[in-house]
Structures are given as structure tokens and as C-alpha cells.
Structure 1
Amino acid sequence: MTPTDAEAKARAYYDAIDSGDYDRLAALLRPEFVHYRPDRTLEGRDAFVRFMRDERPMTDTTHAVDGVYPEGIGVAVRGRLRGPDGEDLFAFVDVFGFEDGAVAALETYTETLDD
């Protein structure tokens, strides 16, 4: 996978979540996908998509991507999660790992933004 392909897939991941296109989101992920986040670990593509669709506290958020840094077989993304009124809720860095052209793992780091 080229750095350009990795960047495109990372951006497609956020687009799918923000638009509520969960079939597209599932197509980007390997079946054994794992998401490591500060509050929990989600194991398996189906569990992750179900969480994003049905269980996350806020579904009307958007991701503002500030920078994408492809390196080797992965990519890191720096950005902010925005609430329904456009306010920044927190900053994040996501580190994507790919296998066979699909997202195999994602590790999220978050930082609270000062007012």
C-alpha cells in the first residue's frame, strides 16, 4: 500500500463515520479489526461498526482533520472531534495500521482542549 492509498483510506474512514455510512466503514476494516481507545478496546469489525452506529454517546459529530502523516505501512492523523454545533470537543491523534489494504488496527490518543 502506498502512502497515498493509506491517506485516502484514513480520510475515507472519517467520511464514513461522519456521514453514517456504516457499510462503507465496514468495507474499510479487516474482520479482525481492533480499536484501542482511552476508554475501551473494541475487538472485531462487527463490534466496532455496531458501536459506532448504535452505542456511541454522540452520533452527530464530525472529524476535523488537521494533518495526515503516512509512514511505512501505517498513517497517523491529527485532528479534532467537533460537536453538533461545530465546537471542538477534544483533540485526537489516530494511528492506523493496515494489512492487505484494509485497516487492521487503530490506536486513538485524545487530549482535552482548554477553553
Structure 2
Amino acid sequence: MHEVSVANSIIDIIQSAIPKESNGYVCSVLIKVGALSSIEVDALQFAFDIVKARTLLAKAVLKMEIVEGKGQCTQCGCEFSMNSYAIPCPDCDSYLIKIIQGKEMKVISFELEDEG
């Protein structure tokens, strides 16, 4: 379950972005997860909820935006939606596909609340 290491990386990224003089806590985190990224979103949510304890993200809610998978045929140039890697081009049936969207996992933003 690599989602635990992904959750730890999300927390590390956010903690490094919080100003050292901050007295607040993170109340929400927004990430984008590609549909072709091999990340199981339910497992990531579960892992995040476990590893966030005892950090500035202990109260944080993880919000995930799923990015649709898109491919481009290297034979005819057709761009199309895809939800798995084993999909042929809808125009020419070629399996020579370049993934152009949907493999990413990005931390987009987080909200910091003052403690006081």
C-alpha cells in the first residue's frame, strides 16, 4: 500500500510550506489525483487520516479532485478519454498511446487556521 508513503509526502510538503512563526493548524488540504496515477483514493484517505495525527494537519480534511485520464494516439494524433492503460485509439485501433493527462498527484492548496 504505497498510499501511506504518498500521505506522508503530502504532509511533509505542507509542513515545509507553513511559516515557522505560525501558531495555527491546517484545516483542509486540496490535492489533484490523476485517474491513471495508480493511487487508490479510498486507501489514500484512510492513510492520510492515520498519519496526520500528531502533526499540524491533525484536524485537516483531505479534499481530492480527480483528474480524468487522457491519451493521444501516436499513429493518428487522436486525443481521447481513458480510464485504463489498455484502451486502443477509438479512431484507428492502435495501442501506441501517449498518456497526456491523468498520471499526476499534486498538492494544490491548504488552509491554515489561527489557533487563537
Higher strand share: 1
Q: Of the two structures, which has the highest relative contact order with CA contacts closer than 8 Å and spacing of 6 or more?
A: 2
- Length-normalised TM-score, structure 1: 0.26
| Rg comparison, structure with higher value | 2
Structure in which a larger fraction of residues adopt helix = 1
TM-score by length of 2: 0.26
